[in-house]
Amino acid sequence: MTPAARPARSRAVRVRASLFLLLSMATGLAAAADASDHRPSEFTEADAFARAAVDAGEIPSAAYAIARKGVVLHAAAVGTADRERKIAASLQTPYALASLSKPITATALRVLQHASGLSLDAPIQELLPALAAQDGQADPLQGVTLTRLLHHTAGLGTYAQIHYGDSIDAAAARASMAQRPYLRTVQTPGRIAEYSNLGYGLIGDAIAARTGVSLERYLQRSVFTPLAMRDAFVSGTHAHAGAVAYDASLTPIGPLWNDTPGAGNVFASVDDLLRFGDFHLDPSRFEAMLALLPAAEVMAMRDPDSDGAAHPMYGEAWYGQGWYVRGPVAARQQIWHEGGMPGASTLLVLYPEQGLVLTVLVNRSDAQPFVHALAERLLRTAWPEAPALGLDPIAGFAALSASTRFRGDWAGTVTVDGQARSLSLQINPGGESRFEYLSGVEGETAPIVRTFQAIVRGNSLVSAVQAPWRSADAPDGAAALLLKLNLGEDDTLSGALVAYDGPERLRFLLPFALTLRRVAAESTRAPMRSPGRSR
């Protein structure tokens, strides 16, 4: 069955799932719910919902809490953090945060900037000279700064590589941000927010380079210790004491390592995240941390970027510095970050006007629907008039319409492992749109042809297709290809083709820079070429 023949709802679910992959008071917050104006019995619906999910075998465990202005309204843990050893989950169990690591990394960078006078607007190569362009070659990171990396507006592509078991040590030994072919802009810096683990990987490297200590040690002394986040740590390549990671069938995944640590390798407990979240709501309660990062600089992390970049995801929200933010710029209503990778589904939400901090942690892959449903129950009990969480990343996107400016024929090349592969799109909102490309599969010279559906918002177009792919970092192939493109005023489509392998055991999201130009209606589309060395 072709993608066009499948139900529209299924396509939307697949795209949403792909995007998601693309897409915390130094005084014990976990103390005494009886000191609040909510009794534990008021949260029985949330507790019953969580317990039912454990009993049904949907999740191994969940730890969750909601607090208002430093007072815990409710906190609980259900299930087992380690099913094989029968270790119960608790409010002190460290869970893998996945991308919820980003606001912690961003906070550490702001501490470093305040202490050292580090310029966040200097070229990234000033901190990481190994990234400098070779003599006579174009700079693939021109315009990339720490500020833009914080906001995801540096123009880097959607990326992840996760290594498992016996492959971890070898992967860590050869991991070097400077050597990665994906370290090049796929969009003009400052133009559009493109969520990128590469960017926060670079931030982690920049922190280590500037301080002379590892990212883990700097996070410990700049965030974990001053906020009394006693259970928090950065996972390395060896065994750790955190909750065991499970897949959707509750099978242990085993050791895994994300090769951009600043983007997703932090572990923390519910107790830790209540402190971290409360600091970002009201820094005045945290004297030790306030001495490192003044309140005005904490509040500035919520601000939109100064480039005026487009932020197409999550409706009218924007990405600040480590946080998604929603509401009027003068009065932020909701601040949050999610995390999702194999064995981890996490959420931390802040409501500044209400002084609420809400967090849910689960040690299972792809459990975000449960996380959202539990969070909604906790939020409604504490604040019955609360708006919906609004955590659909493609809110505001719509299917292609007949009048779309994307309509027409487009042709270009994508460079993969130093070779140029031809690629073309025929975008026809009234019928089947076609995607043709050369896959890189050995011996294959004819183009691969797929029909596809796309969603658009403003100048952004996103699509996902099931199609074969080979490259150096994907020798066994990819499960799908994502197209993430932006329509420019010069009548080009620029962005990335992203090779994707997951989601049950995500191995990679690999972005390859792509530029397509509109083919004149009266011209004949050029035939596909066999792969050839780019010049």
Per-residue pLDDT of the chain (535 residues; tens, 9 = 90+): 333 333 333 444 344 444 444 442 222 323 333 333 445 568 999 999 999 999 999 999 999 999 999 999 999 999 999 999 999 999 999 999 999 999 999 999 999 999 999 999 999 999 999 898 887 788 899 999 999 999 999 999 999 999 898 888 887 777 665 557 899 999 999 999 999 999 999 999 999 999 999 999 999 999 999 999 999 999 876 767 899 999 999 999 999 989 999 999 999 999 999 999 999 999 999 999 999 999 999 999 999 999 999 999 999 999 999 999 999 887 889 999 999 999 999 999 999 999 999 999 999 999 999 999 999 999 999 999 999 999 999 999 999 886 788 999 999 999 898 888 899 999 988 778 999 998 877 767 788 999 999 999 999 999 999 988 889 888 888 889 999 999 998 889 999 999 998 766 889 999 999 999 999 754 444 444 433 333 2
CATH of the domain at 51: 3.40.710.10
pLDDT the model gives residue 192: 96
> How far is it, in rounded angstroms, from Cα 160 to Cα 501?
10
Task: Give the domain CATH number at 438.
Answer: 2.40.128.120
pLDDT at 175: 65
Q: Are residues 365 and 418 in the same domain?
A: no
Q: 172 lies in a domain?
A: no
Strand ranges of the sheet holding 266-268, from the earlier edge strand across to the other edge: 95-96, 266-268, 233-234
Best CA proximity match to 481, nearest among 457, 456, 508: 508
Query: What's the rounded Cα separation, in Å, for the pair 38 and 270?
Result: 19
Same domain? For 377 and 438 the reply is no
In the numeric block, the tokens 């909701």 are attached to 334
Burial label, 389 (beta-carbon count in 10 A; 0-12, 13-18, 19+): middle
pLDDT at residue 477, as a whole number: 85
Whether residues 426 and 378 share a domain: the answer is no
Per the structure, how many domains does the chain have?
2
| Same domain assignment for residues 277 and 298 | yes
Q: Are residues 484 and 402 in the same domain?
A: yes
Residue 446: its pLDDT value, please?
A: 84
Say if 121 falls within a structural domain: no
User: Are 280 and 340 in a shared domain?
Assistant: yes
Q: Are 324 and 391 in contact (CB under 8 A)?
A: no
Domain residues for the domain of 40 are 24-111+204-382
Same domain, yes or no: 321 and 410: no
Assess if residue 141 is contained within a domain: no
